[in-house]
Structure 1
Amino acid sequence: MGLSLEQKKAMVQEVSAVAQQALTAVSAEYRGLSAGEMDQLRALARERGVYLRVVKNTLARRAVAGTDFECLTDTLHGPLLLAFSQEDPGAAARLVRDFAKEHSALAARSVAFGGTAYSAEHLERLASLPTREEALSRLMATMRAPVQKLATTMNEVPGKLVRTVAAVRDAKQGSPA
């Protein structure tokens, strides 16, 4: 059963609103996935904060028009799903990559980031972006390293003095006076 004109307009508006706010997008071909596997993929997407939608290509082209993801229009053909990362730039790419490892029927077609479309080969690069928490922890470790090194160096000066005094004492106690 086909969608009515009103349903199509609502779907275009919904996808367009998500695309306006999204950081990255991944288009993937889902031909060969069963309904149960699609349900698993949708559940994973909800858990990871990824907006996932199967949209007809003409509707998808209209939805991404005027957004940073308009660059995907050339790759929108065949049975595709669109995955948009809302908070974490690599979330959609990680979702598609991880699900495709277990289900070979899911194949990434293209990724978009910053108004530029990239081929599916760039999926791994986008998926390897750190999450917000990972990026913050790396930043904090980098900021802490110089302070920690300074504290270690400052602590070494009195420690060396104590070892030198102890060595002098041992030398005086061990030598006949």
Structure 2
Amino acid sequence: MPLTRAQKADIIEQIGAKLDESPIIYLTNFSGLTVDQTNELRGRFREAGVDYMVTKNTLAQIALDKIEGMDALSEHFAGPTAVAFSDDPSKPARVLKDFLEDEDLERPELKVAFIEGELYEGHEALEELSKLKSREELIGDVVGLLLGPAQTIAGSLQGPASTLAGAIKAIADGEGEEE
């Protein structure tokens, strides 16, 4: 059953809102996947906190036309297209890479990843993006770097402080014996 104009307008609005809100957008070619494989992939994306949806290219392009700065994505909405929306550049790449390895498949393939205004295309880009650290991992690294010097300083201060206290005590004990 064909979509009504109102339904199409709603879909365009939904797609447009997601495209506008998401800093990370992955376009994939999902052709050749079975229903079970598609459901498995959707479940993995959901577990990772990534929104994943199949789109009608014409409706997605209409939505893109309304958003400034996303013209470069327009040409990639051709053929079977599914879109992954995320706040983390590595999560969709990791899900796709793990799925491809676990299922021993060549699809879904990355058409393009749109990350903070830059385009990354092809299998090589998927490999590199999957190696990026997540936001949580980067925060952990920064906290570790910030705590490291403080712990080193605290340890350094404890050593001389105890030595200094011992020296002062020895001097005080020595002075008391002379009198």
Take 1:84 and 1:39, find their aligned partners in 2: how far apart are those partners? 17
Q: Secondary structure at the match of 2:75?
A: helix
Take 2:51 and 2:69, find their aligned partners in 1: how far apart are those partners? 16
Q: Secondary structure at the match of 1:75?
A: coil
1:33/1:106 contact within 8 Å kept = yes
1:24/1:90 contact within 8 Å kept = no
RMSD of the alignment, in Å? 2.3
- 1:75 is displaced (CA, Å) by 1.8
1:68/1:114 contact within 8 Å kept = no
Count the aligned residue pairs. Answer: 163
Take 2:48 and 2:132, find their aligned partners in 1: how far apart are those partners? 15
- 1:71 is displaced (CA, Å) by 1.8
The aligned residue for residue 159 of structure 2 is: 156
Query: What does the per-residue CA deviation read over 1:33-61, in whole Å, with 9 as the maximum and x for residues that have no partner?
Result: 01111111122222222111111222221
- From 119, 122, 125, give the equivalent of 2:121: 119
Take 1:71 and 1:89, find their aligned partners in 2: how far apart are those partners? 18
2:110 corresponds to which letter in structure 1? Answer: A
TM-score under structure 1 length normalisation: 0.79
TM-score under structure 2 length normalisation: 0.79
Query: What does the per-residue CA deviation read over 1:56-107, in whole Å, with 9 as the maximum and x for residues that have no partner?
Result: 222221223315543211222111111111x333222222222222341211
Query: What does the per-residue CA deviation read over 1:106-139, in whole Å, with 9 as the maximum and x for residues that have no partner?
Result: 1111111112222122223333332232122111
Q: Which runs of 4+ in 1 moved over 6 A?
A: 159-162
Structure 1 residue 145 and structure 2 residue 148: aligned?
yes
